[in-house]
């Protein structure tokens, strides 16, 4: 007697459920529908190609096992993919753009077009070209005219802080839109990308998210160095990357280091990053710095004595954001105090800028930064769990709290579920030891320190 495919699949699910955790089960197995059982072949329907890849990669063994137990040795599993890439057609269903929930917009806003998140202020027009950025700028020009159709895919722009990576990435996106307003560009920071993925897993909306990525023609992800250590995000990114690449969609990434030096990022992902063009942006030379200042202040530039702008450009070399900052505060000082902008004032302002008083950060904010980085819930840091990543996150939070706050060891301990001060000392020592012996860990700490420092600047 033939059992119905529903029952058969239910029996498989019972076995699978015992072998995977609840979240994975809900994310990857709940959305599957059995649709046929013929000649020992059970056919299941998965929402998209990505699901199929993921399941095959992560759950093949348990699937085989359950099929074997339920259907016997001759049992086989076949997939039917609902929404597929155009190249492989399994009775594809056309995209219904309206039915796909867009996780990146607040509900109630316009839904028909994908909002790009592009900043209209960052364009090629106001991007000063110099030797320092020529490669990236030219590649960007070429991409704008033919996104996905050049050898520069992905385009990876890398370089130090404040050297114009984000500006350039937006400029390319804006320029693509200018040539073709229908082209769907999506700009994401690595942070928001990660958040979307974490939420999709939590809320069981992975297929919505993935379908959404299927609508994008050009994906820009900023600051991919923050992918470090986030394995789940990396896995999903890897699959999204492949899907986009296979369908000739454009990918643009920025990073603070060249792909090969991205520690904590899986090799297979790094290899993908190296497929296209890797272009660095370097600190601009003196002439370019002057030109950038001129671009930034427009007509007021002429009113500022040459000596002053040159003085600024001589002194601030390695960060364009700082260059702008000095100038803006110089102009503010001058107008507030009704002073002339002269060399004297410029020196004063630069001095202040460099020794600017540090703002403070709370122990809780540090804990939040670290918890987010390790993708553990904040509350876990206060719990008694001995899970390794939680323990490390807690110890690291204490270590950073000691270095970046004025809190006493007792107060710090209090912030993590009432640990006493000797536990805090022990944690700090442990972290220091790890820094000294494990270079990957050292980089993680450096990155977190950078994040703490960034939050001190805002």
Positions in the binding site for Mg ion (CB under 5 A):
165-166
**Residue 193: CB minimum distance to ligand ADP, A:** 16
Which of 111, 257, 266, 321 contacts ligand ADP by CB under 6 A? 321
What are the structure tokens assigned to 126, written together?
């106001």
Q: Which of 309, 300, 323 is nearest to 132 (CA)?
A: 323
Distance CA 260, CA 248 (A): 24
187 binds ligand ADP (CB under 6 A): no
**Residue 161: CB minimum distance to Mg ion, A:** 8
Contact map string, positions 268 to 297, toward ligand ADP, x by CB under 6 A: ------------------------x--x--
Single out the segment in contact with ligand ADP by CB under 6 A; choices: 73-81, 145-153, 165-173, 423-431: 165-173
140 binds ligand ADP (CB under 6 A): no
Applying the rule CB under 6 A, the residues between 436 and 455 that interact with ligand ADP are none
Residue matched to tokens 């992905």: 154
Which of 37, 165, 183, 289 contacts ligand ADP by CB under 6 A? 165
- Judge contact between 137 and 225, C-beta under 8 A: no
- Our CB check for ligand ADP shows the closer of 16 and 262 to be 262
Which of 285, 324, 375, 449 contacts ligand ADP by CB under 6 A? 324
58 binds ligand ADP (CB under 6 A): no
- Our CB check for ligand ADP shows the closer of 159 and 229 to be 159
What are the structure tokens assigned to 375, written together?
């993708």
Q: Which of 196, 200, 244, 242 is nearest to 218 (CA)?
A: 244
16 binds ligand ADP (CB under 6 A): no
Task: Please compute, for residue 165, the number of CA atoms within 13 A of its CA located in the half-sphere on the CB side.
Answer: 29
Applying the rule CB under 6 A, the residues between 367 and 426 that interact with ligand ADP are none
324 makes contact, choosing from ligand ADP, Mg ion, none, with CB < 5 to 8 Å by partner type, with ligand ADP
Distance CA 371, CA 139 (A): 37
Single out the segment in contact with ligand ADP by CB under 6 A; choices: 162-170, 265-273, 305-313, 411-419: 162-170
**Residue 297: CB minimum distance to Mg ion, A:** 22
Residue 112 burial (CB < 10 Å; 0-12/13-18/19+)? exposed
127 makes contact, choosing from Mg ion, ligand ADP, none, with CB < 5 to 8 Å by partner type, with ligand ADP
- Our CB check for ligand ADP shows the closer of 32 and 292 to be 292
What are the structure tokens assigned to 6, written together?
């529903």
136 binds ligand ADP (CB under 6 A): no
- Judge contact between 186 and 104, C-beta under 8 A: yes
Run of H or E residues at 202: helix 190-202
Which of 127, 212, 273, 416 contacts ligand ADP by CB under 6 A? 127
Q: Which residues contact 73 (CB under 8 A, 6 or more apart)?
A: none
What is 15-63 written as a DSSP string?
HHHHHS-HHHIIIIITT-EEEEEETTEEEEEEEEHHHHHHHHHHHHHHH
What are the structure tokens assigned to 356, written together?
């600017």
Distance CA 447, CA 456 (A): 14
- Our CB check for Mg ion shows the closer of 226 and 399 to be 226
241 binds ligand ADP (CB under 6 A): no
Max Cα distance, the chain (Å): 95
**Residue 219: CB minimum distance to ligand ADP, A:** 17
- Our CB check for ligand ADP shows the closer of 75 and 284 to be 284
Task: Please compute, for residue 302, the number of CA atoms within 13 A of its CA located in the half-sphere on the CB side.
Answer: 2
Which of 186, 244, 293, 320 contacts ligand ADP by CB under 6 A? 320
- Our CB check for Mg ion shows the closer of 165 and 373 to be 165
**Residue 127: CB minimum distance to Mg ion, A:** 14
- Our CB check for ligand ADP shows the closer of 210 and 219 to be 219
- Judge contact between 389 and 433, C-beta under 8 A: no
128 makes contact, choosing from Mg ion, ligand ADP, none, with CB < 5 to 8 Å by partner type, with ligand ADP
| 128 φ/ψ angles, rounded to the nearest 5 degrees | -80, 130
Task: Let me know how long the chain is.
Answer: 458
- Our CB check for Mg ion shows the closer of 115 and 160 to be 160
Distance CA 186, CA 209 (A): 13
Which of 75, 140, 164, 229 contacts ligand ADP by CB under 6 A? 164
**Which residues bind to ligand ADP, rule: CB under 6 A?**
126-128, 133, 161-167, 292, 295, 320-321, 324
């Amino acid at each position: 007697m033939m059992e119905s495919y529903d029952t058969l699949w239910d029996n498989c699910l019972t076995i699978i459920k015992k072998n995977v955790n609840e979240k994975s089960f809900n994310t990857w197995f709940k959305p599957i529908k059995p649709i046929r059982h013929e000649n020992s072949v059970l056919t299941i329907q998965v929402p998209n190609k990505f699901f199929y890849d993921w399941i095959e990669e992560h759950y093949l063994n348990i699937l085989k096992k359950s099929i074997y137990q339920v259907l016997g040795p001759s049992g086989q599993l076949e997939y039917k993919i609902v929404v597929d890439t155009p190249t492989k057609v399994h009775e594809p269903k056309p995209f219904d753009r309206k039915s796909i929930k867009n996780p990146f917009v607040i509900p109630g806003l316009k839904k028909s077009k994908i909002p790009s998140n592009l900043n209209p202020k960052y364009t090629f027009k106001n991007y000063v070209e110099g030797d320092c950025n020529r490669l990236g700028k030219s590649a960007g020009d070429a991409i704008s005219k033919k996104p996905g159709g050049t050898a520069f895919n992905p385009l990876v722009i890398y370089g130090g802080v404040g050297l114009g990576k984000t500006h350039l990435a937006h400029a390319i996106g804006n320029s693509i839109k200018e040539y073709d307003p229908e082209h769907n560009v999506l700009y994401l920071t690595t942070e928001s990308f990660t958040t979307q993925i974490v939420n999709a897993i939590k809320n069981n909306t992975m297929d919505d998210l993935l379908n959404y990525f299927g609508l994008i023609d050009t994906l820009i992800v900023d600051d991919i160095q923050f992918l470090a250590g986030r394995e789940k995000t990396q896995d999903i990114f890897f699959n999204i990357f492949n899907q986009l690449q296979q369908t000739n969609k454009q990918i643009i990434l920025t990073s603070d280091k060249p792909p090969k030096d991205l520690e904590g990022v899986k090799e297979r992902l790094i290899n993908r990053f190296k497929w296209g063009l890797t272009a660095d942006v370097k600190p601009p030379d003196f002439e370019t710095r002057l030109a950038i200042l001129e671009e930034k202040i427009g007509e007021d530039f002429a009113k500022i004595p040459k000596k002053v702008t040159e003085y600024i450009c001589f002194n601030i070399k390695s960060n364009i954001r700082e260059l702008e900052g000095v100038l803006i505060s110089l102009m503010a000082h001058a107008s507030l105090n009704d002073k002339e902008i002269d060399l004297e004032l410029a020196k004063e302002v630069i001095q202040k800028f460099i020794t600017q008083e540090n703002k403070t950060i709370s122990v809780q904010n540090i804990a939040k930064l670290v918890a987010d980085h390790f993708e553990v819930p904040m509350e876990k840091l206060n719990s008694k769990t001995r899970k390794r990543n939680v323990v490390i996150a807690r110890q690291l939070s204490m270590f950073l709290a000691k270095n970046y706050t004025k809190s006493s060891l007792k107060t710090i301990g209090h912030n993590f579920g009432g640990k006493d001060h000797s536990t805090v000392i022990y944690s700090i020592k442990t972290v220091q030891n790890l820094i000294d012996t494990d270079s990957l860990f050292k980089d993680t700490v450096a990155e977190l320190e950078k994040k703490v420092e960034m939050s001190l600047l805002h």
